[in-house]
Amino acid sequence: MLPLNLPAFDAKIAVHDGKQVIFDDIRRRYVTLTPEEWVRQHFVHFLIAHKGYPQTLIANEVQVQLNGIRKRCDTVLYRRDLSARMIVEYKAPDVPITQAAFDQITRYNMALKVDYLIVSNGLRHYCCRMDYADGRCDFLPDVPAYNDLQ
């Protein structure tokens, strides 16, 4: 897999039924190793090991309802009261991050109303804090540490 702009970690990769799989510590099972999954596993590890996010408050592949249609958020971070706090959307490293990715995560946020949105393709990462009072999002220079979330 392609090297990413994220810290390396000890990924558990295996082959099941002729397909490469990677162990997802959040879902506690092996999942198909796609380029997008490679980004997800690196980014989640980055959040936990380098930004102090509690693993117990992170969920992958979270189902939401949008206008009666089921969609899945790639990763959601929760508060201790289990209300959603952050949505992370991943793209494969060869997929440029465009307005369409921000439109997608914004649609998910219509259901969850989180404080932070992140879009990453493993090479470029965009993080913004939602300001609902002023109806805007403020892009941040970096992904905040868990203890710095407002």
In the chain, the N- to C-terminal Cα span, in Å, equals 35
Contacts of 4 (CB under 8 A, 6+ apart): 38, 39, 42, 93, 122, 123
- Given this model, what pLDDT does residue 1 score? 73
Beta carbons of 77 and 47 less than 8 angstroms apart = yes
Element (H, E) at 102: helix 99-112
Q: Which two tokens stand for residue 129?
A: 């804090």
Q: What is the pLDDT of residues 58-114, one digit of tens each?
A: 999 999 988 888 999 999 999 999 999 999 999 999 999 999 999 999 999 999 999
- Given this model, what pLDDT does residue 67 score? 84
Spatial distance between the Cα atoms of 29 and 36, rounded to a whole number of angstroms: 17
Band of residue 144 on the pLDDT scale cut at 50, 70, 90: very high
Reduced to 3 states (helix: H, G, I; strand: E, B; else coil), residue 21 is strand
* Domains and their CATH numbers in the chain: 13-143 (3.90.1570.30)
- Given this model, what pLDDT does residue 45 score? 98
16 burial class (0-12, 13-18, 19+ CB within 10 angstroms)? exposed
Residue 14 CB neighbours (<10 A):
11
